[in-house]
């Protein structure tokens, strides 16, 4: 199974990438996705997460072909 | 109900005039229109700001804004609502956001307009990167509560 992982704004700059593709087998939470794509980085404080463009919690399970996004607090308006 | 993301400068009053033309059928029942227009300041956190770049998440930003407008329609008796938001490179004095709400009564219009704006500030994926007069760039870390700090 595979998912697309996306990063935005200051998080994208600090990670140095805008996206990853993660191949996996078995159940995987959003937190597992973060650990597998960024093994050398602790989960950042205040980072928000979305799956398929809806906000979710870090223990949300992902499935094949999901799009997972990590980003800092929003500052529009 | 409409959400528009603009990559170019927009005139909120022209946008409103054009949108209201599409509401002709409902105009007789409209008794209240509430507007919020956010424009770019030339200062922030004690520094002079020369410009900024607004990043967004295409698809998710529109999806979240649609949800906010639907939430507002479910909570107040609204006839219509509109959000227009800039992205890309923006300069001081340019409009960043327009929220407009039409209803029969002022309470619904005022409350829904405030609700939409505050929800946008906390849920719609936009991020501001400021360019200061001294050429330094910095990401805005979080939105304020909307009042001048004392």
pLDDT score, position A45: 85
* pLDDT band at residue B123 under the 50/70/90 scheme: very high
Residue B27 DSSP class:
G
Provide the CATH number for the domain formed by A2-71 in this structure. Answer: 3.10.20.30
Chain B contact present for A73, CB below 8 A: yes
pTM attached to this predicted model: 0.95
* Residue A6, min C-alpha distance to chain B (Å): 10
- The whole-angstrom separation of Cα A62 and Cα A57 is 11
pLDDT in tens, B6-22: 999 999 999 999 999 98
8 Å CB contact between A36 and B40: no
8 Å CB contact between A53 and A34: no
* pLDDT band at residue B25 under the 50/70/90 scheme: confident
Contacts of B129 in chain A (CB under 8 A): 9
Q: Which of A56, A48, A49, A51 is nearest to A66 (CA)?
A: A51
Cβ contact B129–A9 (<8 Å):
yes
Cβ contact B125–A73 (<8 Å):
no
* pLDDT band at residue B148 under the 50/70/90 scheme: confident
pLDDT in tens, A35-58: 999 999 998 889 999 999 999 999
Cβ contact B143–A72 (<8 Å):
no
* pLDDT band at residue B57 under the 50/70/90 scheme: very high
Each domain of chain A, given as residue ranges in start order, spans 2-71
Contacts of B65 in chain A (CB under 8 A): none
pLDDT score, position A44: 87
Cβ contact A74–B129 (<8 Å):
no
Each domain of chain B, given as residue ranges in start order, spans 2-19+32-136
pLDDT in tens, A6-25: 999 999 999 999 999 999 99
pLDDT score, position A41: 94
Q: Does domain B2-19+32-136 have CATH number 3.90.1170.40?
A: yes
* Per-residue burial over B16-47, b = 16 or more CB atoms within 10 Å of its CB, e = otherwise: beebbeeeeeeeeeeebbbebebebeeebeee
Q: Residue B91: pLDDT above 80?
A: yes
- The whole-angstrom separation of Cα B44 and Cα B23 is 38
* Residue B29, min C-alpha distance to chain A (Å): 29
How long, in residues, is chain B? 150
């Amino acid at each position: 199974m595979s998912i697309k992982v996306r990063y935005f704004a200051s998080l994208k700059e600090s990670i140095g990438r805008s996206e990853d593709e993660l191949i996996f087998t078995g159940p995987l939470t959003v937190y597992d996705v973060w650990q597998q794509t960024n093994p050398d980085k602790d989960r950042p404080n205040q980072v928000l997460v979305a799956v398929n463009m809806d906000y979710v919690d870090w223990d949300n399970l992902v499935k094949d072909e999901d799009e997972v996004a990590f980003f800092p607090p929003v500052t529009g308006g | 109900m409409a959400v528009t993301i603009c990559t170019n400068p927009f005139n909120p009053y022209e946008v409103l005039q054009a949108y209201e033309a599409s509401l002709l059928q409902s105009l007789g029942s409209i008794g209240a229109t509430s507007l919020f227009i956010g424009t770019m300041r030339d200062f922030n956190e004690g520094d002079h700001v020369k410009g900024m770049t607004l990043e967004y998440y295409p698809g998710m930003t529109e999806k979240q804004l649609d949800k906010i407008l639907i939430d507002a329609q479910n909570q107040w008796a609204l006839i219509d609502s509109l959000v227009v938001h800039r992205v890309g490179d923006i300069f001081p004095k340019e409009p960043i956001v327009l929220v407009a709400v039409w209803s029969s009564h002022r309470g619904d219009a005022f409350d829904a307009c405030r609700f939409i704006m505050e929800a946008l500030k906390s849920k719609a994926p936009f991020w501001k990167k400021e360019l200061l007069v001294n050429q330094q760039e910095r990401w805005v870390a979080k939105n304020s509560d909307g009042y001048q700090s004392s």
